[in-house]
Structure 1
Amino acid sequence: MTMLLFVAVVAALLLGFLSGLLSFKVKNRWCPQCGGSTLVCPPIEGGGGQRV
């Protein structure tokens, strides 16, 4: 009985960890044009800087 409970708890923890891992969304932190931080991106030719 305790082994079954242990397996159920480990399976639930693993399922929760994997679902959290798959649903985690990382914000864009880097400017794709200049490679700098998107918090303060310097102006680039033909366009302005990007602020997020």
Structure 2
Amino acid sequence: KEGLIEIEIRPEWGQNGKGSFGRWLGIVYVDGVDINVEMVEKGHAVKYEEGEEKQ
């Protein structure tokens, strides 16, 4: 269909695929591009490692 994009979601397994707050964690790819990384690189998101203090 015109205008649709294919999205592949590959979960990152930790504690049943969820983070410490019970939210699902995963990587979203669009046309082979890791959207999580793209968002951080373009300033739309901040990388957070579990256990780090928020800035």
TM-score of the superposed pair, with normalisation by structure 1: 0.24
TM-score of the superposed pair, with normalisation by structure 2: 0.23
Q: Which structure: greater helix fraction?
A: 1
By relative contact order (CA 8 Å, sep 6+), the higher-ranking structure is: 2
